[in-house]
Amino acid sequence: MMIDKHALLDAALTARQNAYAPYSRFAVGAALLSEDGRVFTGCNVENRSYSLTCCAERGAVMQAVAAGCRRFTAVAVVGAPQGEIPTAPCYPCGACREVLVEFCTPDTAVYLTGEDTTLGELLPKTFILEGTPVCE
């Protein structure tokens, strides 16, 4: 059975519980639904050097690709200050949008807290490297 929007958001919320965010104190969780129905999650993992911080979305993508999944039909992202329940959309940062584009399509659903959108809406007119397939 295919999991629905709420189940994917729940998976992102669960992953968010493991966010390591001692510097920003902003906890983010992400969940990806692969074409074959598997779910991969990630949370933000910060670093004392700050710039080495990894976002939740990119963590989830790395998990999925390492497990052999490269195509996703939906993405859920939730974020809020640590200790608070997300009540507003946490939009993926530009870097994460670009990384998601590598393994998604413009119509990939993006579920946020209180808002549904698509990856094509979040990042239109993406860079296309001539001669390179969108995703092998």
> Hey, which residues are catalytic here?
57
Q: How far is the CB of 22 from ligand THU (least distance, A)?
A: 10
Q: Let me know how long the chain is.
A: 136
Binding site for ligand THU (CB under 6 A): 21, 24, 26, 28, 44, 46, 53, 55-57, 92-93, 96
Q: Which amino acid is at 76?
A: A
φ and ψ of 121, to 5 deg: -75, -35
- Contact between residue 29 and residue 111 where contact means Cβ atoms under 8 Å apart: no
For residue 12, the Cα-to-chain-centroid distance in whole angstroms is: 9
Q: Closest CB to ligand THU among 23 and 67?
A: 23
Q: How far is the CB of 59 from ligand THU (least distance, A)?
A: 8
Q: How far is the CB of 94 from ligand THU (least distance, A)?
A: 9
